[in-house]
């Protein structure tokens, strides 16, 4: 069926070529968007006394009634009805259009606006021009395209047939503009650091490896923006941020992708409290700009962003959920026993930090629905954060959480090079024991700290926050998400 339709369209393409038309011309003429024509209809009627208007778009509907052809063309702004009359345009143009133009083709029309008997604003076409012949039919017109995997794989079709999908990416543009404008207004400098790294660092994640032919050596695709930005604090910058791609060779789920856009900022001579105040202000502004209000929905829960965010203590919440006081000398075996009691799965290779984090996610995080900050994480799960001077088992770390989901991560940054080296060495022991996501010792970064880095607060978020605000799986908010290889029928 599809092959027959395609063959018919190829024949129509040849008919247009035989008639002397350029089927894929370089130039087109468009006076303004279709929506502008509809919104300024009365003013354009006056203008048309002197000249015709030119509009363009994809043909989205088409019906012929004797010597009349009604069709709609759609551009990014919207659809407008067009009318081609044989006695107005001439028989040759009329027959060429009626016999060879299909839904899906791009055309340019020239004519004047008028209202039909049903008061629909319409272009009476005097002349038309083919801009692009669609050889394949639009899916919904003939055989439908409902499969979500196929829509993601062929996102151009999703964008073509689902206006709500296009709206997602317009809102995503607003999201990143809001982040950038907020930080710019707060005096931060946007910078750009390398994607290829000697040592993957700044997060617990398995990296991608690539080979640099000119240098004949392997590099890692960055898993975080953190360590290069902190080097800039060493160099003398005080407020910096970056928005860019990071890559993590890990599993796919509703909240995670292997490559995604992240933002991190670093603020010298600041502290965790100031960082939390800034983040809360930024998130509220982002939600307002994307939604127009301060309430969203996620996983069946109403999320109210407008309230003052509660600050929760990690150690207190962990003790409530498990009975374990992390201030004590807790062993890996105790944590695994507790996980077994709670029915929480884990890998045998997990060390203390990974076990704490696994239990926390299944007992604490899932119950944090309204926006809040979780603070004071165990040192074992935070190798880049400054120790709490009141308790060396804790660090000065904060995470905004809502709907049971982590929506960012911030620290008072560790700037003690001796402490940093010791923590990297502990991470390397975990890596040697089989933890592929443990962090790698970065000698150059430690050396940079030895030249002195001022006290600072750092924070990072990713496009997960955007997908959370829209209440959608993250890959549905990425234009071209990575997909499994399609198995041929």
Residue 65 dihedral angles phi and psi, to the nearest 5° = -130, 85
Total domains in the chain come to 2
Asked if the structure places residue 483 within a domain, the reply is: no
What is the 3-class SS of 92-147, one letter each residue? Answer: HHHHHHHHHCCCCCEEEEEEEEEECCCCCEEEEEEEEEEEECCCCCCHHHHCCCCC
Do residues 266 and 240 make contact, with C-beta atoms less than 8 angstroms apart? yes
| Tens-binned pLDDT, residue by residue, of the chain (489 aa) | 668 889 999 999 999 999 999 999 999 999 999 999 999 998 888 876 678 999 999 999 999 999 999 999 999 999 999 999 999 989 999 999 999 999 999 999 999 999 999 999 999 999 999 999 999 998 865 455 667 788 888 899 999 988 999 999 999 999 999 999 999 999 999 999 999 999 888 887 889 999 999 999 999 999 999 999 999 999 999 999 999 999 999 877 777 888 999 999 999 999 999 999 999 999 999 999 999 999 999 999 999 999 999 999 999 999 999 999 999 999 999 999 999 999 999 998 898 999 999 999 999 999 999 999 999 999 988 877 899 999 989 999 999 999 999 999 999 999 999 999 998 888 888 888 877 777 888 999 999 999 999 999 999 999 999 999 999 999 999 999 888 877 665
Residues 373, 292 within the same domain: yes
Q: Which has the closest alpha carbon to 111: 48, 167, 37, 162?
A: 48
Residues 113, 178 within the same domain: no
Domain boundary among 144, 170, 195: 144
Asked if the structure places residue 463 within a domain, the reply is: yes
Q: Is the dihedral of CA 145, 150, 156, 162 positive or negative?
A: positive
Residues 132, 174 within the same domain: no
Residue 220 dihedral angles phi and psi, to the nearest 5° = -105, 140
Asked if the structure places residue 486 within a domain, the reply is: no
d(CA 436, CA 235): 32
Two structure tokens written together for 36: 């502008």
Per DSSP (E only), the strands in 364-448 are: 372-375, 387-388, 391-395, 397-402, 405-406, 409-412
Asked if the structure places residue 228 within a domain, the reply is: yes
Angle, CA 147 vertex, CA 143 and CA 149 arms, to 5°:
135
Distance linking the first and last C-alpha atoms of the chain: 17
Residues 102, 199 within the same domain: no
Pairing mode of beta strands 391-395, 409-412: unpaired
Residues 204, 331 within the same domain: yes
Residues 443, 470 within the same domain: yes
Asked if the structure places residue 152 within a domain, the reply is: no
Asked if the structure places residue 487 within a domain, the reply is: no
Asked if the structure places residue 405 within a domain, the reply is: yes
Residues 132, 167 within the same domain: no
Asked if the structure places residue 252 within a domain, the reply is: yes
Query: Residue 434: left (phi > 0), alpha (psi -120 to 50), or beta?
Result: left
Domain boundary among 119, 144, 169: 144
Domain boundary among 144, 172, 187: 144
Look up the CATH number of the domain holding residue 98: 2.40.50.140
d(CA 62, CA 98): 9
Residues 413, 267 within the same domain: yes
Per DSSP (E only), the strands in 258-320 are: 259-268, 295-298, 301-304, 310-313
pTM for this entry: 0.90
Residues 306, 364 within the same domain: yes
Look up the CATH number of the domain holding residue 276: 3.30.930.10
Residues 183, 34 within the same domain: no
Q: What burial class does residue 251 get, using C-beta atoms within 10 Å of its C-beta: 0-12 exposed, 13-18 middle, 19+ buried?
A: exposed
Residue 388 dihedral angles phi and psi, to the nearest 5° = -75, 120
Residues 329, 247 within the same domain: yes
Do residues 158 and 165 make contact, with C-beta atoms less than 8 angstroms apart? yes
Residues 129, 173 within the same domain: no
Q: Hey, what long-range contacts does 12-19 have (CB within 8 A, 24 or more apart)?
A: 12/99, 12/100, 12/101, 12/102, 12/133, 13/100, 13/133, 13/135, 15/96, 15/99, 15/100, 16/96, 16/100, 16/130, 16/133, 19/96
Count other Cβ atoms within 10 Å, centred on residue 331. Answer: 11
Quote the domain boundaries for residue 133: 2-144
């Amino acid at each position: 069926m599809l092959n027959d339709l395609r063959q018919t369209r190829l024949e129509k393409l040849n008919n247009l070529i035989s008639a002397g038309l350029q089927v894929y011309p370089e130039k087109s003429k468009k006076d303004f968007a279709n929506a502008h024509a509809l919104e300024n209809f009365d003013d354009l009627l006056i203008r048309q006394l002197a000249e015709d208007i030119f509009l363009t778009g994809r043909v989205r509907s088409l019906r012929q009634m004797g010597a009349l052809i009604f069709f709609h063309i759609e551009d990014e702004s919207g659809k407008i009805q067009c009318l081609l009359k044989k006695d107005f345009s001439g028989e040759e143009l009329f027959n060429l259009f009626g016999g060879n133009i299909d839904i899906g083709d791009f055309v340019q029309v020239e004519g004047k606006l008028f209202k039909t008997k049903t008061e629909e604003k319409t272009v009476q076409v005097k002349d038309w021009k083919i801009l692009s012949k669609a050889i394949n039919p639009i899916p919904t017109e003939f055989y439908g395209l409902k499969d979500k995997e196929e829509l993601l794989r062929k996102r151009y079709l999703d964008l073509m047939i689902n206006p709500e999908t296009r709206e997602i990416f317009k809102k995503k543009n607003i999201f990143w503009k809001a982040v950038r404008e907020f930080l710019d207004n707060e005096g931060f400098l946007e910078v750009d650091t390398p994607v290829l790294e000697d040592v993957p660092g700044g997060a617990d994640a398995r990296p991608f490896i690539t080979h640099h032919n000119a240098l004949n050596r392997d590099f890692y695709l960055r898993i975080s923006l953190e360590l290069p930005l902190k080097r800039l604090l060493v160099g003398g910058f005080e407020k910096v941020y970056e928005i860019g791609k990071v890559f993590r060779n890990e599993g796919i789920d509703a909240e995670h992708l292997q490559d995604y856009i992240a933002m991190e900022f670093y603020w010298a001579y600041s502290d965790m409290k100031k960082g939390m105040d800034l983040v809360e202000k930024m998130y509220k502004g982002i939600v307002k700009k994307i939604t127009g209000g301060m309430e969203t929905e996620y996983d069946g829960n109403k999320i109210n962003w407008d309230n003052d965010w509660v600050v929760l203590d990690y150690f207190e919440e962990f003790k409530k959920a498990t009975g374990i006081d992390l201030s004590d000398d807790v062993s890996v075996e105790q944590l695994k026993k507790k996980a077994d009691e709670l029915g929480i799965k884990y890998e045998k290779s997990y060390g203390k930090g990974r076990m704490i984090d696994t239990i926390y996610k299944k007992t604490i995080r899932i119950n944090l629905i309204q926006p809040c900050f979780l603070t004071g994480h165990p040192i074992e799960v935070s190798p880049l954060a400054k120790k709490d001077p009141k308790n060396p088992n804790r660090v000065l770390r904060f995470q905004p959480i809502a709907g049971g989901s982590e929506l960012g991560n911030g620290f008072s940054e560790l700037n003690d090079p001796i402490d940093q080296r010791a923590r990297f060495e502990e991470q390397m022991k975990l890596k040697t024991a089989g933890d592929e996501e443990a962090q790698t010792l970065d000698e150059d970064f430690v050396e940079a700290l030895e030249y002195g880095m001022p006290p600072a607060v750092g924070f990072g978020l990713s496009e997960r926050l955007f997908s959370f605000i829209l209440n959608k799986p993250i890959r549905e908010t990425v234009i071209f998400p990575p997909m499994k290889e399609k198995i041929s029928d």
